[in-house]
Chains A and B, each alone.
Chain A
Amino acid sequence: MMERFSVIIVFVIGIGVGIVLYSNGIAVDMVTSKLIEPLLYAFIATVAAAIVFEIRSTKEIVSNIGLSLRLTVSTAVGSMVGGILTALILHRDLVGCLAIALGMGWYTFTGSYLAAFDSYLGLQGFTANMLREVATIVVYPVLSKRCPIESISIGGATTMDTTMPIIAKFTNARVALVAFIHGLILTLIIPVIIPALYN
């Protein structure tokens, strides 16, 4: 739990540093965007390695794959519909809103990928997806009593790592495994969907 807050604290410190740098007339937007890009690629590589090391038994995964797939489809389609509705309500760029919504909680990837094209869109992608993770941490313990499986979709891609402890704590091993597979599939498809949608 403390780790979640430390990420938010680091982000707030970063905002403070950005404001101070702007006030002193130091332009950092281009440099920061350029720095984020290689870090992002390295990050994706480490996440891929982590996935390989976390998988222990393939038999267990196969038995819950059907339910996880249905859940993954509902999360992706729901996020897509959410993005379209937001674009319609706000009268904004549909593709941009879709790309942010389809980040499905993976804020480091969505934020930094979109920042390479438009810093404002990247900022929104980062903040909206970070809030989705925070929302999962706050909402899941309440919703898990009545709908433990269905509530996994709120977490999106974060259910395989960052929100996994919350899910495991409030439910059982089977739900945790479904959440892991759900998060794993989304983590694999997000780096394909967003660049295909916004390039």
Chain B
Amino acid sequence: MGMLIRFKRMNVGRLINKLTTTMVYIIVMLMGILAGYTIMLRSSTAGIQTVFTFFAEVFLLTLMPVVMSFSLSLLIIRIRIGRVR
């Protein structure tokens, strides 16, 4: 009985993993199509300047949360705001 439950659990788990992986690729592909289309639409209406602005914005939107999260976790976990570990 235990073996049967483990077998079923393993198969369902594997099926879910495969389903998730496949869906990620489909979603990523659709997002890419949307991205390519939107970039072309934006750059044709506002010019190539928009594309550079887009990447400058994305760079900051990636960098700032990463830097702030890391700094804050250093403050909270390591220093524990005043208490040195």
Q: Which residues of A contact B (CB under 8 A)?
A: 6-7, 10-23, 28-29, 32-33, 35-36, 39-40, 42-43, 46-47, 49-50, 53-54, 67, 70-71, 73-75, 77-79, 81-83, 85-86, 89-90, 92, 97, 100-101, 104, 108, 111-112, 115, 119-120, 122-124, 126-129, 131-132, 135, 139, 143, 147, 149-154, 156
A-B contact count (CB 8 A): 223
A120 and B20 form a contact (CB under 8 A): no
B54: chain A residues at CB < 8 Å are 120, 123-124
Q: Are the CB atoms of A71 and B77 closer together than 8 Å?
A: yes
Contact of B23 among A13, A39, A123 (CB under 8 A): A39
Nearest A residue to B71 by beta-carbon distance?
A78
| A23: contacting residue among B20, B30, B40, CB under 8 A | B40
Contact of B31 among A36, A73, A131 (CB under 8 A): A36
Interface class of chain A by DSSP: helix
A162 CB, min distance to chain B CBs, angstroms? 9
Q: Hey, which chain A residues are within 8 Å of B24, CB to CB?
A: 7, 43, 108
B78 to A150, Cβ gap below 8 A?
yes
Task: Report if B84 contacts A (CB, 8 A).
Answer: no
A43 near B23: Cβ-Cβ < 8 Å: yes
Residues of chain A with a CB closer than 8 A to B69's CB: 74-75, 78-79, 82, 104, 153-154, 156
